[in-house]
Amino acid sequence: MKITEYITPLKENIDKAREEGKTVVLVPTMGFLHYGHLAMVEDARKKDENHEEIYIVMSIFVNPLQFGPNEDFNKYPRNLERDSRLAQEAGVDMLFVPSIEEMYPNGKSLTTVNVFTVPDGLCGAFRPGHFQGVATVVSKLFNIVWPDAAYFGQKDYQQFIVIKQMVTDLNLPITLIPYPTVREPDGLAMSSRNSYLSKEQREQAPVLYRALQEGASLIDSGEKRMEVIREKIIQRISFQTDGKIEYVEIRRADDLSPVEIINGTIVIALAVHFGGTRLIDNIIVGV
């Protein structure tokens, strides 16, 4: 595995891989890797264990544009030595670890990417500017790497839909691969921010997924009233944890538009604060 901080050698290595006829796959991350990240690499690598056909680029970049002024940019967990070892073991060919100066030479980006409507509600209602920052940095990574395919975890479901809309609207020739949420044995969605949780908070956090499963079970049993399902989820989280609920919402899975009566494929999404730690999760249900 090669590692670079700079765009020019990254492009040179990718060009060489293309000359060898390899398919370029991008796995963008903010680092402090967990198995959710590594599972995406392993999924791509299993199709080409000998590194003869697929060239996997993983980026590690904590993007300042997607953090608000009171969010955790400065304390976001970082451990490049550990991440490099895990990425190599998983089968990454090139690890791209740019500085802020390499990605934003002027300290900021005067050009940004906005995807309208999709960021409305859910996380977008509570993190203004977040998805503009996400779309901008992903657009930059796509233009730097020009991957044939890119993986995005479904835990960040709204992020995936934003990127999917951007790829569609801008006619980008990139195949997006949504990867199912990877969970701990007790159901908690894997996240770099789980490292912030206290012992008591970590014991309570799996209730989020159990509450989502209860909501999905209600739908499977025929319940179509959105507010009934939301209230059940809210009650369970409120009664069994000390978490502060930011939102519980039910949206159409394909475009995140609001629903009144549940039908088709929907996503139930939530965000809950445990102290200073904000956790998100979701579950997709077909009706």
What residues act catalytically? 37
Three-class SS state of 116:
coil
Tokens coding 51: 């590194």
Distance of CA 272 to the CA centre of its chain: 16
Contact indicator for 75, 230 with CB cutoff of 8 Å: no
Contact indicator for 61, 98 with CB cutoff of 8 Å: yes
Q: At what angle do helices 226-240 and 207-220 cross, to 10 degrees?
A: 150
- Which residues does 41 contact at the CB level (< 8 Å), separation at least 6? 27, 56, 58, 87, 90, 91, 92
Judged on CB neighbours under 10 Å (0-12, 13-18, 19+), 258 is: exposed
What is the rounded CA–CA span in Å between residue 34 and residue 54? Answer: 22
Contact indicator for 287, 266 with CB cutoff of 8 Å: yes
Three-class SS state of 91:
coil
Residue 175 bridge partners (DSSP): 149
Residue with tokens 């995807």: 115
What is the rounded CA–CA span in Å between residue 67 and residue 134? Answer: 9
What is the rounded CA–CA span in Å between residue 132 and residue 207? Answer: 31
